Amino acid sequence: MARNLDIKAVGPRTLAIHAGEQPDPATGASSPNIVMSTTFVKEKPEGFSAYELTDESPFVYTRWANPTVRLLEAKVAALEGAEAASAFASGMAAASAILFAELSSGDHLIVSDVAYAGIAELTRDTLPRMGVAVSKVDTSDLDALAAAVRPETKLIFIDTPCNPLLRLTDIAAAAGIAHDAGARLAVDSTFASPVGCNPLALGADYVMHSATKYIGGHGDAVGGLVCGASALIRPLISEAIVHYGGVISPFNAWLIARGAATLPLRMKAHQESALALARWLEGDARVARVNYPGLQSHPQHALARRQMTNFSGMMSFRLKGTEADGLAVAERMAGELGIIHYAVSLGHHRSLICWLPTSAMMENSFRLEGAQAAAYREWAGPGLFRLSVGLEDAEDLIRDLDAVL
């Protein structure tokens, strides 16, 4: 019953559905089973070191490898055009796997000054404690990025489009800067999803996703993925999965793989509705600025067109008025929105919105100064509403927002 899928010869919709899957050889089941077993029965005694594992090794123990987890890895690797992928318990486990596998005491890391809050805080608070020097750089400014490189620079870690500004970093240029310095480039591509951007094809060494977001797509499973060349992913598995232990539950891997089957179709719909909402917001007198890479008014729209194939459903916008005015609208949203959920997270079929006041973002997560703080305020003003446009009817979402702005 084994079927041959030539993953180089089919389109992303076919890959999303079929990559990594086979009908069950025992029963012919068309949909994949969930293998929850933690251990696997051996026909003869075998070794026990993670360093002996290869992709061909038989399954031994689920922290090392599991058939359902492998299905998810194969599917996302195919969508990213990657040789290999490794799944993790969360997006943060995926990010920390890259950081801890690449960086040792004495090394230097460059990280986007505006990145996912967990990554901003981990690189600020934990890595320096371990002897890693960290520079926060506005990586959308390639001159600033090149100027930050040192002889000890080992890794450049960028977030594009970044959370919550939706500001982009030129991936191909950042890869060039990293490689000229003998460093590697990692890209947090969660906002774009594997449908919106393929950083490896642009020269990145690692691409990571919070699969909790678009890849899973339904807000019911936390997970993460890192994709890259086998030579980089294999040691990441031995070190980060087997030894740090951030293994994903096979049940979550199954849910995320099931969600991933519709990723190309969902992204198309997310983009279509997001564009409708972004245009409506931009034309509304109450709105001061909309940050959406698909809008012509986005300062990096040309770069977005160059490196993104789908602009996704993520945007942020700010209203006219003060931070206190923004808070009052956020309170109205939390109490009165009928469809959109006032909640963190993103990439789900349900639309989600939350208020990110600049003062709190600066104090807790970013702590930017000088030109970096000024650049943040240029995009965010006193605060941003981060909107993850879901799969509902766009007109209903517009009506919902119109009533509370």
Residues that bind ligand PLP (CB under 6 A): 90-92, 116, 118, 159, 163, 188, 190-191, 210, 212-213, 222, 224
Q: How far is the CB of 330 from ligand PLP (least distance, A)?
A: 19
Torsion angle (degrees, nearest 10) of CA 69, 70, 76, 78: -170
Q: How far is the CB of 378 from ligand PLP (least distance, A)?
A: 21
Q: How far is the CB of 118 from ligand PLP (least distance, A)?
A: 5
Q: How far is the CB of 362 from ligand PLP (least distance, A)?
A: 18
Contacts of 285 (CB under 8 A, 6+ apart): none
Question: Which backbone phi and psi does 174 adopt, to 5 degrees?
Answer: -65, -35
CB of 344 within 8 A of CB of 354? yes
Nearest residue to 226 (alpha-carbon basis) of 96, 127, 59: 96
Contacts of 39 (CB under 8 A, 6+ apart): 60, 61, 62
Tell me whether residue 181 or residue 194 sits nearer to ligand PLP (CB atom).
194
Tokens of 174: 């950042």
H or E element in which residue 260 lies: helix 250-260
Tell me whether residue 17 or residue 223 sits nearer to ligand PLP (CB atom).
223
How far apart (Å, rounded) are the C-alpha atoms in residues 256 and 89? 11
Q: How far is the CB of 282 from ligand PLP (least distance, A)?
A: 24
CA distances from 150 to 140, 146, 213, 338 (A): 18, 9, 34, 51
Q: How far is the CB of 344 from ligand PLP (least distance, A)?
A: 9
User: Cα 338–344–345 angle (5° rounding)?
Assistant: 110
Q: How far is the CB of 191 from ligand PLP (least distance, A)?
A: 6
Q: Which residue is nearest to ligand PLP (CB)?
A: 91
How far apart (Å, rounded) are the C-alpha atoms in residues 66 and 182? 34
CA distances from 299 to 158, 310, 313, 379 (A): 18, 17, 18, 10
Tell me whether residue 91 or residue 250 sits nearer to ligand PLP (CB atom).
91
Tell me whether residue 222 or residue 263 sits nearer to ligand PLP (CB atom).
222
Rounded to a whole number of angstroms, the distance between the first and last alpha carbons of the chain is 56
Query: For helices 67-80 and 250-260, what crossing angle results, to 10°?
Result: 30
Tell me whether residue 159 or residue 170 sits nearer to ligand PLP (CB atom).
159
Tell me whether residue 108 or residue 209 sits nearer to ligand PLP (CB atom).
209
Tell me whether residue 222 or residue 227 sits nearer to ligand PLP (CB atom).
222
Tell me whether residue 166 or residue 404 sits nearer to ligand PLP (CB atom).
166
Torsion angle (degrees, nearest 10) of CA 66, 67, 71, 73: 20
Q: How far is the CB of 347 from ligand PLP (least distance, A)?
A: 8
Q: How far is the CB of 321 from ligand PLP (least distance, A)?
A: 27
